[in-house]
Amino acid sequence: MTATGGTRAGGLRGRLAGLAELFPGLLVAIIVALAATFLSEHYGGPVMLFALLLGMPLYFLSQEGRCAKGIQVASKQVLRVGVALLGARITASAIAELGLAPIVIVLVAVVSTILLGGLLARRLGLSRQFGTLTAGATAICGASAALAISSVLPKHPRHERDTIFAVVGVTTLSTLAMIFYPLLTAALGFDDVQAGLLFGGTIHDVAQVVGAGYAVSVEAGDVATVTKLLRVALLVPTVLAIAFLYRAELKAEGGRARLPVPGFLFGFIALVAINSLGLLPAPVQGGLQDLSRWCLVTAIAALGMKTSIKALLQVGGRAVALIVVETLFMLGLVLALLLAVA
């Protein structure tokens, strides 16, 4: 065997050994994701929350042993793939069909909520990063936004704990909103379009937006879904803006500031463009959306396994108050805007 052939064979063996090292942890995360999906489909409830709750008791697996590295990869690399594939849900024409008023409502609500989060966090004695994380998750697309924003925030000892709290918080509040917001729109006498705009403009997670909208009517569900996808489309500029704002805290070792632009953002943009041009056949689009959901559920299961329940409880009442106020602020603002343009 030549030296080149031996090098290639050695490299292949090394890669296979690396994959074998990751397999146990990835397998555990996938099994937890499957269990969460089964519970969600058969008993109702948000699959993301089930994945978190099922993963948390397995915290010990992420600390040492054969599963640790695979869980780490599932919580980061698999997550980024899932966020990038969200772009398969969105087209430019779907955004354009909303008209000007819904776009203005969404932009004002998202920007205002994120600004509020940073300011209010400081008033409550919490870090600006924590306020940005929870507000971004509240304003854009719940757990997916929390994971994407977390990837470009400065890392600190409480970083993963804060991320998992944001995911748990927005998922829980999103579920409550799915139950109570339709009752609110009925009490206010909203028509289907107004109800859809409220659901799509305020509820955190896509699944709960769809659930609330179609519980009212098909028209409300359609309007809610498109409005929500507009918020999801703001994920890219929001993550880029947050990365830019925190660039001074994310300096490279050489002392030069760098702007971290994760590759998954470019993947997201590319898929939106391809989907907008009609180049994604329906089966491929559906497959990518399913793959995105599985990647995100698997990543959240892994994050659950990396989170100490004891450490999560130490976040405190101020953090809970922060994310509740952000949610109520966004609801009140969108309600005011809808009534103003009615």
- pLDDT single digits (tens) 23-49: 899 999 999 999 999 998 898 777 877
If one counts every other C-beta atom within 10 angstroms of the C-beta of residue 182, the result is 20
Q: Which residues contact 221 (CB under 8 A, 6 or more apart)?
A: 196, 210, 213, 214, 215
Strand partners, 3: none
Residues 107-150: tens digit of each pLDDT:
999 999 999 998 999 999 888 889 999 999 999 988 888 888 88
At 16 the pLDDT is: 62
* Rounded distance between C-alpha atoms, residue 44 and residue 291, angstroms: 21
Mean per-residue pLDDT, 167-186: 87
* Rounded distance between C-alpha atoms, residue 216 and residue 234, angstroms: 26
Which of 242-246, 295-299, 303-307 is most confident?
A: 295-299
Q: Which residues contact 335 (CB under 8 A, 6 or more apart)?
A: 188, 198
* Rounded distance between C-alpha atoms, residue 108 and residue 300, angstroms: 29
Contact between residue 250 and residue 258 where contact means Cβ atoms under 8 Å apart: yes
If one counts every other C-beta atom within 10 angstroms of the C-beta of residue 66, the result is 14
Contact between residue 289 and residue 279 where contact means Cβ atoms under 8 Å apart: no
Residue keyed to tokens 């959306």: 289
Residue 93, pLDDT > 80, answer: no
Residue 98, pLDDT > 70, answer: no
Least confident segment among 52-56, 125-129, 154-158, 254-258: 254-258
Let me know how long the chain is: 342
